[in-house]
Amino acid sequence: MSRPAATDSVWAADATEPVLDTTVGGILREAARRSPQTPALVVGSPDPVLRRRWTYRELLADAERAAQALAARFEPTERVAVVATSIPESLILTYAAALAGLVLVPVNPALRAEELRHVLGQSGASGVFVEPEYRGHDLVGTLGALAGDLPALREIVVFDHWERFVSAGNGASALPTVGPDDIAQLVYTSGTTGSPKGALLSHRGMTNAARFAATRFGMRPGDVYVQTMPLFHVGGQVVSFQLCQLSATAVLVRAFDPGLVLELIEAETATLTCGVPTMLLALVEHPDFSGRDLSSLRSVSGGGAVVPAELVRHIEDALGVQFAVVFGQTEACGFISQTELDDGAEDKGTTLGRPLPGVDARVVDPHSGDTVGRGEVGELEVRGPNVMAGYHHMPDATDDALRPGGWLRTGDLVTMDERGYLRMTGRLKEMIVSGGENIFPVEIENVLLEHPEVAQVAVVGVADRRWGEAAVAVVVAAPGLTPGAAELEAFLRRRLAAYKVPRRWVFVDDLPRTATGKIQKHVVRGRLVADQ
């Protein structure tokens, strides 16, 4: 790689904020020492009577008790999965696993049997903590059926029996010394091959990414944050670490409901919240919106998709807040860049902000690896403490993702201006970001091609005001057959999480292809956009 010129798209990390030698368990212990009586956690239950509360002292006590129980059953560095929504026991488990030197594997409870088999098998999880069911799906039954195919799995703990599990710990198990470069979590993300890959995230990476993003967001000690980002996403985990390091309060929402979030902002006098565009629109369009006192709310962050300037203005005006756009990916602890709170709506609506402190960034030609000039399109690469150590047991994929010197290839095509602000222009990977969820077309296409009435299929993303992007399936039927959208949708729902099911179906006679037979997805997408 040639040496970059002064006019190249290179951003040197802001080093005014030091990278600290922190751990996930350590930041909780420090918060309990610094602010023992400060509210740490509130259960955002629809019923105010059920809104349990923890101070930082109480949260640490429960986490250490759970860590003792874990240490009695598992050895340091073993993987322990959690398949659950944002319940308080899941957050306690996050800290307990960290204190016990275990590697937490957060898993989306929407995943179906084959998806769970892959994640739990590839991670080599020794234990699984699970809610009984999720939206009618018997998670315990599914895991029980899979257990015989998971040789590393020794224990399944249902959260209904959490207290029994914790009480079974004898309290005498010595907790290990955990270092900042130890792996804290193994978080799964998919690639263009459709095979989920587990990103190994360190304690140092997750806690420093949290701290830097919190600073850019203007988070303060004593803030109250209605946390709608689920704990099974890397973003939800890192937001929790933001709050902990500032002795702020997390109001944990089990599942997003706009009416509930509005009520919680008012009742808890919340100062901060977050949401993808879909969620934010649902808040301001809810019938309860005008009747709620939201005057305590100061700032809102959003990500998961480019947020149009029109929507930024709408959110800021409707809520009376400052908005921040957040951009990241799992392999970088969920946070790479962020806009400033006082940026204009155009910057917030057209850019991904500047790289966070501690993060080097450059835009390169994806083939040669040479940096491109300012304003030119190339692949974004980043380096910093937030970058993963690699993919779990996938050396080839790790080599593809990490260049020498610790540079992470994001797969995102961007431009960089002279201020360091990044603008998204596309993706080398064909990932679709819809409602904050990452959707990978190949995974959906592979399942649809198993349907006897489908001959060809291309799944692409198109811009959508509410969802950011919407997945569209363009299908060529098998000769003489006429599959219906409802039939194919039901077929997918039995095999994949509901959020992966396309929101629109188009049936065509043929798909455009290159001379070598590859489907031209840019042509497919262009035709859909023209039809819109």
Q: What is the pLDDT of residue 168?
A: 86
Q: Is the pLDDT higher at 160 or at 195? A: 160
For residue range 200-227, what is the model confidence (pLDDT) as tens digits?
A: 999 999 999 999 999 999 999 999 999 9
Compute the distance between CA of residue 90 and CA of residue 112 in angstroms, rounded to an integer: 20
Helices (H), 268-373: 277-284, 309-319, 345-350
Tell me the β-bridge partners of 186.
Answer: 200
Instruction: For residues 194 and 186, give the distance between their C-alpha atoms in angstroms, rounded to a whole number.
Output: 18
Per-residue pLDDT, averaged over 287-295, amounts to 97
pLDDT, mean of residues 101-124? 96
Q: What percent of the chain has pLDDT over 90?
A: 82
Give the model's pLDDT for residue 441: 85
Instruction: Answer whether 423's CB lies under 8 Å from 415's CB.
Output: yes
- Max Cα–Cα distance, the chain, nearest Å: 71
Q: State the pTM of this model.
A: 0.87
pLDDT at 129: 98
Band of residue 311 on the pLDDT scale cut at 50, 70, 90: confident
What mean pLDDT is predicted for residues 382-401? 97
Give yes or no for residue 440 having a pLDDT over 90: no
User: What does the alpha-carbon distance between residue 403 and residue 331 come to, in Å, rounded to a whole number?
Assistant: 14
Domain 432-531 class? Answer: alpha beta
Of 234-238, 375-379, 435-439, where does the model show the most confidence?
Answer: 234-238
Alpha-carbon distance of 515 to 509, in angstroms, equals 18
How many other CB atoms are there within 10 angstroms of residue 170's CB atom? 10
Q: What is the mean pLDDT of residues 289-300?
A: 97
Instruction: Kindly report the length of the chain.
Output: 532
Average pLDDT estimate for 182-209: 86
| pLDDT, position 195 | 66
The per-residue pLDDT for 171 is 72
405: left (phi over 0), alpha (psi -120 to 50) or beta: left
Q: What is the CA radius of gyration of the chain?
A: 23
What is the pLDDT confidence band of residue 386, given thresholds at 50, 70 and 90? very high
* 319-337 pLDDT tens trace: 999 999 999 999 999 999 9
pLDDT band at 193 (very low <50, low <70, confident <90, very high): very low
- Give residue-wise pLDDT tens across range 9-49: 999 999 999 999 999 999 999 999 999 999 999 999 999 99
State how far the Cα of 30 lies from the Cα of 169, in Å rounded to an integer: 24
Over 80: is that where the pLDDT of 172 sits? no
Supply 238's token pair.
């890192």
pLDDT score for 163: 96
Alpha helices in 320-440 (DSSP H): 345-350, 395-401
At which residue do the structure tokens 């960034």 appear? 361
pLDDT at 192: 37
With a pLDDT cut of 70, the percent of the chain lying above it is 96
With residues binned 3-state (H G I as helix, E B as strand, rest as coil), the percentages for the chain, rounded to 5, are 35, 25, 40
- Mean pLDDT (the chain) is 93
Pairing between β-strand 337-338 and β-strand 322-327 as defined by DSSP bridges? antiparallel
Count of Cβ atoms closer than 10 Å to residue 287 Cβ:
9
Reduced to 3 states (helix: H, G, I; strand: E, B; else coil), residue 382 is strand
Q: Is the pLDDT of residue 2 over 90?
A: no
Sign of CA dihedral 346, 352, 357, 361: negative
Which pLDDT value is given to residue 191? 42
* 170: pLDDT strictly greater than 80: no
Top pLDDT among 377 and 69 is at 69
Annotated domain spans of the chain: 432-531
